Amino acid sequence: MIFAALDEAASKGELILVFDGLCRFHRRKDGVVVIRELIVMPFRRRTGVGRRLLEQLRRRFPGAALEAKCPASYESNGFWRACGFALAEEGEVNRWRLN
């Protein structure tokens, strides 16, 4: 399943791959870029890989708002906050937004 999703994203130009990480995203018709997955290998977390992926996404879509969803129980909610995202919707799955 995940390989099909990654293949589709790559064919649409909606995938950024870096050493030890990836970002799968989609730009909506309203211009908002939705981050579907931002994955960093566990042994590389807290080394800047995730931030570099976000920087690449922002360079690709300058001025676009970014959105991400994250289950409320995940520690990665702290990542979104630390990267300047604001909590737009709180619940079982939090929605984060960076304008």
| Domains, in order of start, for the chain | 2-98 (3.40.630.30)
The residues near 40 (Cβ < 8 Å, ≥ 6 apart) are: 20, 21, 49, 50, 53
Task: Report pTM.
Answer: 0.92
Q: Which residue type occupies 22?
A: L
pLDDT for residue 1 is more than 80: no
The average pLDDT across 70-92 equals 96
CB atoms within 10 A of CB 50: 22
pLDDT digits (tens, 9 = 90+) for 7-47: 999 999 999 999 999 999 999 999 999 999 999 999 999 99
- DSSP assigned state of 32: P
